[in-house]
Structure 1
């Protein structure tokens, strides 16, 4: 199947739309005609890590199933679906309902190919001697007009606008899942959210939908204003006067932020970490023990997308989760402008619309 794809050759060169060819779907795969795709920080980190290697990224795709493999029975041609991260469905973690920790997570989501090493995407004019194309990003590579994905990663979302649904594949899933699956605050609890980008803001809205008091620490004024508009208390930094938290979510991964946030927790509080920072951080283990604190890592909200995405869609339809307020659409070809606007804080969550959308 032909597709227009957004080709990246490193962070210092502009991206470009080029023609490509997708493999036909294998028995357990589908081809999704992409209607919208969110821009996630992980896409930018991956682009930098790949250097000059040509790549088609994107892992928050939403669109309509155009073709389905012969063994696919969970989605049908014509269904609008969100494509989330890939998992095998067979390992111990997958069977236990924790597919984000799948035994094959790295090869499925970050190898650039299928598990057997076969490519899913080919440039129509591959230049001789070029580095191999990196695709199948998070099992999809959805910065494109069409993407090939495992049917297991596709979740039907009905008639939700694709630009609002797309970030449910990763960013919104991570923030909401961290609240609902890891921290689990209830009415009367206070949640401290450090960093109110897309992940943090999704966590804020989810916690508010649970009747939780939310305090946001965020240096960008526009993001603080958004949090306040929806009912949170917002401060510029963790050094500002604020009440202690029952639990906390850190989206920055910065060592100084982690240690400061732990100090702001009430006894037996939990700090969940979803931001990647340095490999090591100094933690006062004595303080951790004596105050009964927990420091928890969290990947993809520790969510099974097939369960959490429909729940978040329901909350949106009930008016409890205004995710639409977090997104700003851009044409797919304007990827670099969207990234620049996100970095300056002008927009919170850019969502790209392919040419046919």
Structure 2
């Protein structure tokens, strides 16, 4: 079995990534060693650094080939192509009910930097790294991950398409199809035309949602939103957004979806709901910060304000569904992807931060 890997290590919050050789721990009986072919870059990879013990190896959208398996692994074997999705414990009431996205251990599994028992999966020069981010740390040539977190896929899909799926795209599409269960002619306003927001747009188009409004400040992204299915786009710089939305939806929207992490956007998302409408939130400006908004605005609309984790998706069924829709030309999320060589990770992060890349994906091989 491979015992070392090349990993992109970050030593301080929002610091530069440095490629370093790391040592891999032995596989546990229920674990899989994945040779990563690609990894998506997500907003969480950047903001979560302030929650982690550093140095750390980030990355939580891995895709690659199984190289080795623990003795108890049954679902995959060496040579299988897999996506590595979000972690779940498999033992809490929510996991046992088939809702792994509500796993009671999702915070330590995602952000603890170790296995749930506190042991590490990566070391550098004998010192433990936070090398189990989302139980994978996919900014590396190899990852150790629990069997339950891998999704077997067909061999005929490009690695960058696989690695773009397991967080942002899954969250955006799943929020529409699984959490909200938006239907034909339901109205939806999406705040933020990034990877999550535009994935929501594509999913909403699938089910015939209309009007389908997208709010952003980048003209090129608003144009892309129209191409992907939006019926209306609004530039937030052109005046009060809630007023612009009310001209399109005088009675308010059935659903609003805040993906930008902007405080004003949340206020506008709540203000733009119809009576009994739902507002979904998938991001905050920074972990731990508070949103200032008026509960009265929620109350007087009898609105539902809900946080959404991973689009309420069960990856083993939902990700193959999205891949089939993509093959059929009905969910063209490849239009969001921009690829980078692994060694160009810092350029990819810079492009992502300034809006040049919607969904950057690192290619390891």
TM-score between the two structures when normalised by the length of structure 2 = 0.91
Instruction: State whether structure 2 residue 158 is matched by structure 1 residue 161.
Output: yes
Q: Which moved more, 1:140-149 or 1:257-266?
A: 257-266
SS in 1 for 2:244: coil
Distance 2:132 2:52 in 1: 14
Alpha-carbon offset, residue 97 of structure 1 = 2.1
1:206-245 equivalences under 5 Å are 206-213=203-210, 214-232=212-230, 233-237=232-236, 238-239=241-242, 241-242=244-245, 243-244=248-249, 245=253
Distance 2:137 2:264 in 1: 34
Distance 2:75 2:292 in 1: 43
One of 172, 176, 179 as aligned partner of 2:173: 176
Q: 8 Å contact 1:328–1:349 — kept in the other structure?
A: yes
Distance 2:108 2:50 in 1: 19
Alpha-carbon offset, residue 267 of structure 1 = 2.0
Q: Which runs of 4+ in 1 moved over 3 A?
A: 48-51
SS in 2 for 1:117: coil
Q: 8 Å contact 2:14–2:49 — kept in the other structure?
A: no
1:239-278 equivalences under 5 Å are 239=242, 241-242=244-245, 243-244=248-249, 245-277=253-285, 278=289
Aligned to 2:79: 78
Q: CA RMSD in A?
A: 1.7
Q: 8 Å contact 2:337–2:358 — kept in the other structure?
A: yes
One of 1, 8, 11 as aligned partner of 1:9: 11
Alpha-carbon offset, residue 31 of structure 1 = 0.5
Task: Return 5+ residue gaps in structure 2 as ranges.
Answer: none
Instruction: State whether structure 2 residue 276 is matched by structure 1 residue 279.
Output: no
Q: 8 Å contact 2:52–2:112 — kept in the other structure?
A: no
SS in 1 for 2:338: strand
Distance 2:300 2:49 in 1: 42
Distance 1:339 1:274 in 2: 20
Task: Return 5+ residue gaps in structure 1 as ranges.
Answer: none
SS in 1 for 2:72: coil
Alpha-carbon offset, residue 253 of structure 1 = 3.4
Q: 1:263 to 1:231 in 2, by over 3 A?
A: same
TM-score between the two structures when normalised by the length of structure 1 = 0.93
